[in-house]
Amino acid sequence: MVRFCKIVTYILILYSVLSCKNEEEILIRGEISNLRNPYILVTWLSADTLAIDTINVDPKGRFNYKNQVDTLTTFSLYLNNYESAAVVFADKGETLKVKGDALLPDLIEVNGNEVNNDLTLFKTQNRELLTQRGQLLLNLSMDSLLDTAVNTSMTRHDEIAKLQLLNHELISQAEEFIKNNPARFSSLILINNFFINSDNPQALERVMGYIEGDVANTRYTARLKFYSEKINRSAEGATTPYFMLNDKDGNDVYSHEFRGKYLLLSFVSTAGIESRETIDLLKEAYQEVNKDSVEFLTVYIDSDIYPIEYVENDSIPWTVIPEKRSWGSDIVDAYNVQYIPFNILIAPDGNIKVRNIPAQGVANAIRNSTED
């Protein structure tokens, strides 16, 4: 009888230990098509450290992945060597299901808790828009690989214009969802996905105003509010953020040196057809403007190439900055540059006049401003 009691006690203890473990364990089950590799890379933040792991995938793209968390955690699943990604929000004890296509990551569905279910619902409601955008992004990616400006069905510029229209419509749909669900954590995720990189800080500030309830007091909300305040400091109409740079000859370049003149501040790369086209268009614009009242300044952001070699770019007739810290540089952060090429027109009074101005519109914008 004593032995029987000891066995029962041991089983109860073992069950208790296993139960505690299972309560914190999450399980992600998935099936993703068009995977070129038999694995997925997964990252998450653990105790302020970015952790990384590998998920094995069978020939049909199926996988099971277990981990332990003690709070809601964001898992990023990187597909085909970081070409695309899916995000899974998991809390302790949950089982999540992932299904989709690696070529259309915006349509990958995740289910298993309120946050994932809400986001999947948004994707379902906007499937047509997301499918069109995903296909356009694939086309643009192929164009970049082929280094050509012509697509079989439409020009690259037409594709970019259509992509902008789709993004605008998706942003409108996201705002409607946020307005109707102001107390859902999924609304914060949509704000992050659709408004955080927007060139319209007023839109970000507006949708943040919808948030209410418990989610309004989360750290996630605090970070979004901080970012909203930050991008307002480099919005149109704001005073030019201070910068101190070194040109390719080692000379210091300060923001205050351009006061009293128009300044076209451009961010480009030595690689990519868009940057080369931008430089060519800016050269044409430079010939049209009055050099006494207008200056150009180009910042090269190249994360993989340093020092930057100026083979094609030696003919640029204005100041060129090779930014050694690339996307981590102060000026990129201060001016909220999210992609390249990116042009900012600054007025003589030191205020930002136009963000993301097309290179072909620079000369006209300056001409029209001087005539006003």
- Residue 45: partners with Cβ closer than 8 Å, 6 or more residues away: 51, 73, 74
* pLDDT (0 to 100) of residue 273: 85
Contact 353, 369 (CB under 8 A): yes
- Element of type H or E holding 297: strand 294-301
Q: In angstroms, rounded to a whole number, what is the distance separating the alpha carbons of residues 274 and 300?
A: 13
Gap between the Cα atoms of 161 and 63, Å rounded? 38
Q: Note the pLDDT tens digit of each residue in 186-244.
A: 999 999 999 987 767 889 999 999 999 999 999 999 999 998 988 888 999 999 999 99
Residue 80, Ramachandran bin (φ over 0: left; ψ between -120 and 50: alpha; else beta): left
The span from the CA of 211 to the CA of 181, in Å, is 8
pLDDT at 355 over 90: yes
Least confident of 63-77, 115-129, 271-285, 303-317: 303-317
Q: Domain 2-181+188-199: give its CATH code.
A: 2.60.40.1120
356 Rama sector, left if φ>0, alpha if ψ -120 to 50, beta otherwise: left
CB within 8 A of 163, min separation 6: which ones? 133, 136, 137, 140
Fold entry, domain 244-371: Glutaredoxin (3.40.30)
Output DSSP code: residue 323: E
d(C-alpha 205, C-alpha 232), whole Å: 9
Strand boundaries in 47-106, DSSP class E: 49-56, 62-68, 73-79, 84-90, 95-101
- The per-residue pLDDT for 337 is 92
306-319 exposure pattern, b = at least 16 Cβ within 10 A, e = fewer: eebeeeebeebeeb
**How confident is the model over 292-313, as pLDDT tens digits?**
999 999 999 875 555 555 545 4
- What angle is formed at CA 119 by the lines to CA 122 and CA 85, rounded to 5 degrees? 115
Confidence of residue 12 (pLDDT cuts 50, 70, 90): very low
| Torsion of Cα atoms, 329 then 331 then 333 then 337, to 10° | -110
The first and second tokens of residue 62, run together, are: 């199926």
Quote the pLDDT of residue 1.
47
Omega of the bond prior to 341 within 30 degrees of 0, cis?
Answer: yes
Q: Identify the sign of the CA torsion 357, 361, 363, 364.
A: negative
| pTM (2 d.p.) | 0.72
Give residues with Cβ within 8 angstroms of 153, minimum separation 6: none
286 contacts 252 by C-beta, under 8 angstroms: no
Cα-Cα-Cα-Cα dihedral sign, residues 32, 33, 34, 39: positive
Evaluated on CA atoms 191, 193, 196, 200, the torsion sign reads negative
| Residue boundaries of the structural domains of the chain | 2-181+188-199, 244-371
Both tokens assigned to 92 = 């302790």
Q: What percent helix, strand, coil does the chain show, rounded to 5?
A: 45, 25, 30
Alpha-carbon distance 331 to 323, whole Å? 9
Average model confidence (pLDDT) for the chain? 86
Among the ranges given (84-88, 228-232, 278-282), the one the predictor scored with the smallest mean pLDDT: 228-232
